[in-house]
Amino acid sequence: MRALPVFILLSGWLAQSVQAADAQDWLQRLADAEQRQSFQGTFVYERNGSFSTHEVWHQVQEGGEVRERLFQLDGPAQEVVRVNGRAQCVSGSLSDQMSDGQVWPARTFDAKQLSEWYDLRLAGESRVAGRPAMVLTLAPRDQHRYGFELHLDRDTGLPLKSLLLGDKGQLLERFQFTRINTATPPADADLQPSSSCKSVRVSEAQADKPAHWRSEWLPPGFSLTSAQERRSPASSDPVSSLLYSDGLARFSVFLEPLHGAVVEDARSQLGPTVMVSKRLSTADGDVMVTVVGEIPLGTAERVALSMRAAEASATQ
């Protein structure tokens, strides 16, 4: 009789281990599906109580190239065309943002790596857009990221519904298909941008050269995934842009010289997206540091305060 509690505990531990492994398998299916499965459909996007409807065409070509076009069907006309995750052109208000801005939760990630920062669990089954789905939850292991609830198509592993959840379980953002076709790949004509889609010209920092800026503190699991420079819309100065990710969540850091301009610090949040701007003093003059992304406000502020020039330490 005394061995019974130990057996029960062991059985519970084994069940949790099996469930975590199954959840990891489903997350890997999602990662593979978006690189191998063509589809087209319509989904709704909800943030901060507002809704919009979007058409998406996702084409995986021979050789593995992934082409994607997104078009907003209501409200302001907005469009994005991407190849292998890189924006080729954007229109509407998106043209004033960085090229990685998107309203579609396509990601390339490592399921095993994510399990270090999120508690992965299968939470049951559901039905979305007329298709059976498995529900996968990703609960953050610290206070520096949000939680996710993913409803994955049982047949393909594609995300039919994605919920981004705050620390108290509140809904911050929703993607949900109302129609999806995985049987008929999009035609080449569907991937062609409209005349209002403006080409994106961003010069990628060379891989053999370090970025001009670095962060002295990052949330655990986040790392630099790209460093870019572009011309400021307000001047001819280059604006440095650093993109960080933990494989699922991400945020960008923008750094722009002020040349004596008086700019106040700022902070705001719209749904899951935060924006924090801080003035930073360097040996070459003041710089405005702006952090934008899907992380809690306090985390974004700490990142902004930690930015330093790569060659020499900056002072606050």
In a domain, residue 315? The reply is no
- Only one residue has tokens 């979007």, namely 54
Domain that holds residue 302: 202-309
pLDDT reported for residue 229: 76
What does the angle CA 310 – CA 312 – CA 314 come to, to the nearest 5 degrees? 95
Q: Are residues 142 and 31 in the same domain?
A: yes
Torsion-angle region of residue 155: left (phi > 0), alpha (psi -120 to 50) or beta? alpha
Q: Are residues 237 and 110 in the same domain?
A: no
Report the Cα 243 to chain-centroid distance in Å.
10
- The SS3 assignment for 9 reads helix
In a domain, residue 127? The reply is yes
- Of 159, 191, 223, which one is at a domain's C-terminal end? 191
Q: What is the CATH number of the domain that holds 50?
A: 2.50.20.10
Q: Are residues 229 and 162 in the same domain?
A: no
Task: Give the pLDDT of the chain (316 residues) as one tens digit per residue.
Answer: 444 455 544 444 333 444 556 888 898 898 888 889 999 999 999 987 888 999 999 999 888 899 999 999 998 888 999 988 888 888 876 544 433 444 445 455 677 788 889 999 999 999 999 999 999 999 999 999 999 999 999 999 999 999 999 988 899 999 999 999 999 999 999 999 988 888 876 544 443 345 678 899 999 999 998 888 776 655 667 788 899 999 888 999 999 888 777 888 899 988 888 999 999 888 878 889 999 999 999 999 999 999 988 764 444 4
Please report the sign of the dihedral spanned by the C-alpha atoms of residue 208, residue 210, residue 211, residue 212: negative
Torsion-angle region of residue 64: left (phi > 0), alpha (psi -120 to 50) or beta? left
Give 7: exposed, middle or buried? Use CB within 10 Å, 0-12, 13-18, 19+: exposed
Q: Are residues 155 and 238 in the same domain?
A: no
Q: Are residues 118 and 161 in the same domain?
A: yes
- Of 191, 218, 239, which one is at a domain's C-terminal end? 191
pLDDT reported for residue 101: 41
Q: Are residues 51 and 176 in the same domain?
A: yes
Q: Are residues 48 and 164 in the same domain?
A: yes
Task: Count structural domains, the chain.
Answer: 2
Closest CA to 243 of 211, 281, 284, 208: 211
pLDDT reported for residue 305: 94
In a domain, residue 196? The reply is no
Q: Are residues 18 and 93 in the same domain?
A: yes
Report the Cα 5 to chain-centroid distance in Å.
43
In a domain, residue 316? The reply is no
In a domain, residue 37? The reply is yes
Q: Are residues 236 and 130 in the same domain?
A: no
Question: Which residues have C-beta within 8 Å of that of residue 149, sequence separation ≥ 6?
Answer: 123, 135, 136, 137, 138, 161, 162, 163, 165
Q: Contact, 304 vs 256, CB < 8 A?
A: no
Q: Are residues 263 and 150 in the same domain?
A: no
Q: Are residues 172 and 225 in the same domain?
A: no
pLDDT reported for residue 69: 94
- Of 151, 172, 191, which one is at a domain's C-terminal end? 191
pLDDT reported for residue 264: 86
Q: Are residues 85 and 130 in the same domain?
A: yes
Q: What is the CATH number of the domain that holds 252?
A: 3.30.200.100
In a domain, residue 314? The reply is no
